């Protein structure tokens, strides 16, 4: 059994100079492909259940799916709740076997975010699992605008919440399809100067690959969340499989054809974070 907590995989990454991918899952096909890719690259992987995933599949089912894959994997697998918004949701994920809780209070006033995140961290640590929090707000492409992380607030947040990982807003954006942007390196360095908590980049799909590689090996960013990039790879493979034969209707046979292309795309993502 290789089920791991977030701290289990991020602390070695912080120490040895690499990052771990937090891969956003939507269903069985991508979860299975992500673990296969991690095994092929011999790296740990964080399987993430975000709000859209949880809307489609209940947490008790997701917990069993993640743990089933972890039980049979040759690499460490973290079962991670991504963007939990309430205490009850985090408690349910804990009860369903998740090994990491990400509480998102980033839209709330600083003091409230700290208080509520600290409560989730206490819940997680009491059960022997990990907690990720977010300070600053990471916006959405074509939607809400970001609010950059203030280093002084990051220092207070890390100190007062006791989180095991801290998501920051440094030019990253959720749901970005291209890689034409880039992260604010000066802001990252300023945050690193005031805390040694492993840092997390949400919206990692929009970060240029060369910058991912540099930051994975030369900063305290130990986790990059990747969703859009791999959803696009899955969608392309699925479209090709469907269009190949208009008479086919068995979805199992169609979905099987997404596996190899998604494994290949995921391996490419994972390689950019590996230790040199």
What pLDDT is attached to residue 138?
80
Residue 152: pLDDT over 90: yes
Residue 179: pLDDT over 80: no
What's the token pair of residue 269? 């993502």
What pLDDT is attached to residue 259?
97
* 104 assigned to active site: no
Judged on CB neighbours under 10 Å (0-12, 13-18, 19+), 7 is buried
Residue 177: pLDDT over 80: no
Percentage above 90 pLDDT, the chain: 84
What pLDDT is attached to residue 178?
67
Residue 9: pLDDT over 90: yes
Residue 175: pLDDT over 70: no
What pLDDT is attached to residue 80?
98
Q: How far is CA 213 from CA 59, 178, 225, in A?
A: 33, 17, 14
Count the alpha carbons within 13 Å of 80 in the hemisphere toward its beta carbon: 35
CB 117 within 8 A of CB 165: no
What pLDDT is attached to residue 139?
74
Residue 143: pLDDT over 90: no
CB 186 within 8 A of CB 151: no
CA gyration radius for the chain? 18
Residue 276: pLDDT over 80: no
Domain 3-230+262-271 has CATH 3.40.250.10: no
Mean pLDDT of 189-212: 93
What is the pLDDT of the chain when averaged over all its residues?
Answer: 94
Residue 1: pLDDT over 70: no
What pLDDT is attached to residue 14?
97
Enter the pTM of the model: 0.95
pLDDT per residue over 27-46, tens digit each? 999 999 999 999 999 999 99
Mean pLDDT of 14-24: 97
Considering the candidates 8, 30, 82, 104, report the single residue annotated as catalytic: 82
Q: What is the 3-state secondary structure (H, E, C) of the chain?
A: CCEECHHHHHHHHHHHCCCEEEEEECCHHHHHHHHHHHHHHCCCEEEEECHHHHHHCCHHHHHHHHHHHHHHCCCCEEEEEEEECCHHHHHHHHHCCCCEEEECCCCCCHHHHHHHHHHHHHHHHHCCCEEEEEECECCECCCCCCECCCHHHHHHHHHHHCCCEEEECCCCCECCCCCCCCCCHHHHHHHHCCCCCCEEECCHHHCCHHHHHHHHHHCCEEEEEECHHHHHHHHHHHHHHHHHCCCCCCHHHHHHCCHHHHHHHHHHHHHCCCCC
**Where exactly are the structural domains of the chain?**
3-230+262-271
């Amino acid at each position: 059994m290789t089920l791991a907590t977030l701290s289990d995989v991020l602390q070695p990454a912080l120490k040895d100079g690499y990052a771990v991918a937090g891969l956003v899952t939507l269903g069985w096909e991508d979860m299975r492909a992500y673990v296969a890719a991690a095994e092929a690259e011999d790296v740990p992987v964080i399987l993430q259940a975000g709000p859209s995933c949880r809307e489609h599949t209940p947490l008790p089912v997701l917990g069993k799916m993640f743990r089933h894959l972890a039980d049979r994997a040759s690499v460490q697998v973290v079962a991670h709740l991504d963007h939990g918004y309430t205490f009850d949701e985090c408690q349910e994920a804990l009860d369903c076997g998740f090994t990491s809780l990400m509480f998102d209070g980033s839209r709330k006033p600083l003091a409230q975010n700290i208080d509520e995140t600290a409560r989730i961290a206490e819940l997680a640590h009491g059960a022997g699992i990990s907690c990720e929090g977010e300070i600053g707000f990471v916006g959405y492409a074509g939607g809400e605008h970001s609010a950059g992380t203030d280093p002084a607030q990051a220092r207070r947040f890390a100190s007062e919440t006791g989180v095991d990982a801290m998501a920051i807003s440094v030019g990253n954006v959720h749901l970005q399809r291209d890689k034409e942007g880039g992260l604010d390196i000066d802001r990252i360095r300023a945050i690193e100067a005031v805390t040694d908590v492993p840092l997390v980049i949400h919206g990692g799909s929009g970060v240029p690959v060369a910058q991912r590689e540099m930051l994975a090996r030369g900063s305290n960013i130990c986790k990059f969340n990747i969703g859009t990039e791999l959803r696009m790879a899955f969608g392309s493979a699925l479209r090709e499989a469907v269009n190949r034969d208009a008479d086919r209707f068995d979805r199992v046979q169609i979905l099987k054809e997404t596996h190899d292309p998604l494994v290949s795309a995921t391996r490419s993502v994972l390689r950019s974070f590996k230790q040199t």
